[in-house]
Amino acid sequence: MSYISLSDNDLKEMLTAIGITSIKELFNSIPADIKLNRDLNVPGPLTEVEVVAYFENLANKNLSLDVLSFLGAGAYSHVIPSVVDYLSQRGEFVSPYTPYQPEISQGTLQTAFEFQTLICQLTGLDIANASLYDGASGAAEAVLMAHRLRRRPKILVARSLHPQYRETIRTYVNNLHLNIIEIGYDESGCIDLEKLKGSMDEETSAVVFQSPNFFGSIEDIQKISEMAHQYSALSTAVIAEPVSLGILEAPGILGADIVTGEAQSFGIPLSFGGPYLGFMSCRKEFIRQFPGRIVGETHDVEGKRGYVLTLSTREQHIRRERATSNICTNQALCALRATMFLETLGQEGFRELAWQNLQKAHYAKGQLSQIKGISLKFNGNIFNEFVCEFPKPWEEIESILLEKKIIIGYGLENEFPELKNCAVICVTETHKKEDIDKLAAVLKEIT
């Protein structure tokens, strides 16, 4: 299949108009010695029927049907209202570029403005951007921003922050030669507040922590922020499961200065890890150091309200090497989906969603913790994830459950050698009581 729209005749007329006899002539500026004088070694062309068959074949290799999964750990299975798919696939949303021409991009821009508003409402902070790549790179951008704001060499990072986010931060800041100090966790699964206190000082730009954290435990944002503020370090909260914000107090209200995270939970399918949706918000005094596109409200020459990309003097296309971030293309369509998701659920629906996650996860936690041999690794408060320790090697547990068509959770020992035979189990509103009971029943049998 080719997507060319020229007829045979058009082609001839255009060559004549240009004054050439063959398209090849237009490539004369490419030196002969670097021209590729053969066809690319690429399969195809495939027609629609063939390409669909090709991918159906691959899809079948995924074997993922009918499995009952309790995987979370940074990617969450939530309900998606039918209107989100229906509306977000409209060509007018899918096929424009970044809204450089606001007069013909109000759909994208107004939606982004609504997204920013929703993120501020969720996080309790003043300003939000129009999206970042994902939670991990968002965390890295937050560290860079905090460092630009405070210019101090020390960054405290909770070990209970998603390991991929920690690694990404490390990659992004590697050449800044910062002193990244990892702060462990205590028996609640939360950041070790004593250790945090001990590490915090005038050299510290920020403390970065996740809540609910990678183990599912809810951090004490207030305490952490107080400790940070004592040295005017920035309290940087990462939210990987923002459905929790339907029931947990806004981090900004509790003292966080920067809130960043992953909003995949908001209407973005699991998609084997991407595209997802990074978001970030902060206090308004940090705006000059804030990364990413921002949409603002203004008026047209007739006084009609409209929206534009604004404060772009922070950005690469104006400021070049002095930009607050190199980001250009972000995750606009994912932000659109998140906006649709949140607005469709609405205040009541979102509250209910959070509440059901909380209830179901606690029900599961209760059921599992009663099973002989299985223990809860941590005693902190949780939202929709928690860590279990199993009496048998994790690999064995995992594979026995797979035979029963259950993916029980995310094994921790690769990334946390100290958490042998432990796994994070995630329960959301998508799990029915019978799913949870089945998990418990199977586990009872095998432990």
Ligand X SMILES: Cc1ncc(COP(=O)(O)O)c(C=O)c1O
Residues 76-135 that bind a second copy (CB under 8 A): 79, 81-82, 86, 89-90
Classified as helix, coil or strand, 27 is helix
Residue 4-43 contact track with other proteins, rule CB under 8 A, x = bound: xxxxxxxx-xxx-xxx---x--xxxxxx-xxxx--xxxxx
234-239/258-262 β-pairing = parallel
Query: Is residue 51 a contact point for ligand X (CB under 6 A)?
Result: no
Residue 275 preceded by cis peptide, ω within 30: yes
Query: Among residues 275, 273, 218, which one has the least CA distance to residue 241?
Result: 218
**How near is the Cβ of 184 to other proteins at its closest, in Å?**
21
Asked if residue 392 binds a second copy (CB under 8 A), the reply is no
Based on the shown chain and the rule CB under 8 A, indicate whether residue 270 belongs to the binding site for a second copy.
no
The answer to whether 369 touches 316, Cβ cutoff 8 Å, is: no
* Interface pattern 414-443 for other proteins (x via CB under 8 A): x--------------x--xx--x-------
With vertex at residue 420, the alpha carbon angle to CA 78 and CA 66, rounded to the nearest 5 degrees, is 35
Among 66, 151, 321, 403, binds other proteins (CB under 8 A): 321
- Residue 393 sits at the vertex; the CA angle it makes with 389 and 399, to the nearest 5 degrees, is 105
Choose among 212, 205, 200, 197: nearest CA to 286.
205
Closest distance between a second copy and the C-beta of residue 33, in Å?
40
Does residue number 329 form part of the binding site for ligand X (CB under 6 A)?
Answer: yes
Phi, psi values for residue 385, rounded to 5°: -135, 150
Applying the rule CB under 8 A, the residues between 286 and 345 that interact with a second copy are: none
Residue closer to ligand X, measured from CB, 51 or 328: 328
- Residue 41 makes contact with a second copy by CB under 8 A: no
Of the candidate residues 158, 315, 384, 386, the single one contacting other proteins (CB under 8 A): 315
Please identify, using beta-carbon distances, which residue of 23 and 52 lies nearer to a second copy. 52
Residue 91 CB contacts under 8 Å (≥ 6 apart), including other chains: none
d(CA 350, CA 244): 10
Query: Minimum Å distance from CB 329 to ligand X?
Result: 3
Interface with a second copy (CB under 8 A): 48-49, 79, 81-82, 86, 89-90
